[in-house]
Each structure stands twice: as C-alpha cells, then as structure tokens.
Amino acid sequence: MGADKLFPIFVAAVCIVMLVRLALGERRRARMDRVFLGYWLSLTQGWQQLRHWRKRRQSAEQARKAAQEVINRVRHRVEREGNVLTPEAFKSGSGSGSGSGPRKPH
C-alpha cells in the first residue's frame, strides 16, 4: 500500500472523526477534544524527549572525546622532575621558535 492510497484513507478518517464530533453534544465534544489533545501532547512530548535525549547523548560523547584529547595531549607534553611537572615548551633551548633562548610571551 503506497502513499497514494494512504493519504486518501487518512483524509477520510479525519472527515469521519470531524463528522462524529459535530454530531456529539457539547459536553461529549469537549471530552473528546480533551482526549485527543492529551494524546497529541503525549505524542509531541515523547518526540521532544527523544530528540533532546539524542542531543544530550551526542554532546556528552563530544565532551568525553574532547576531555580525552586534552588529557592525552597534556600527558605526552609534560615531563616530571620530582613532584614538579615541567612542560617541554618552557625549557630553554627546546622552544618552537627560532633562536637559542626561551620563548618570548606575546
């Protein structure tokens, strides 16, 4: 059953529901509206919760990867002299700039 057959069935079902709604009294109509509105709200809230859950999961995964990259980067750049951590970039003569002295801060 393709979309070309499902759409007219959907439209016919909506028309029948609206016709039944018109035939009902005021109290039953209000009750029916509340029931359909409740179903609609629960459906949309479920969809939004699913979307937000996926976004939170993806952002948590990205944060975990970024933190692991920083840890790995720091772990490989730092040498230990006793209780002091000394990065290679601060040692004289081994800076990334040209010249034999320590790097100049800019």
Domain boundaries, the chain: 3-65
Strand partners, 23: none
Q: What are 3-23's pLDDT values in tens digits?
A: 889 999 999 999 999 999 999
Can you list the residues of the chain whose pLDDT is less than 50? 94-95
Q: DSSP per residue over the chain, as a string?
A: --HHHHHHHHHHHHHHHHHHHHHS-HHHHHHHHHHHHHHHHHHHHHHHHHHHHHHHHHHHHHHHHHHHHHHHHHHHHEEEETTEEEEGGGSTT--SSSSSSPPPP-
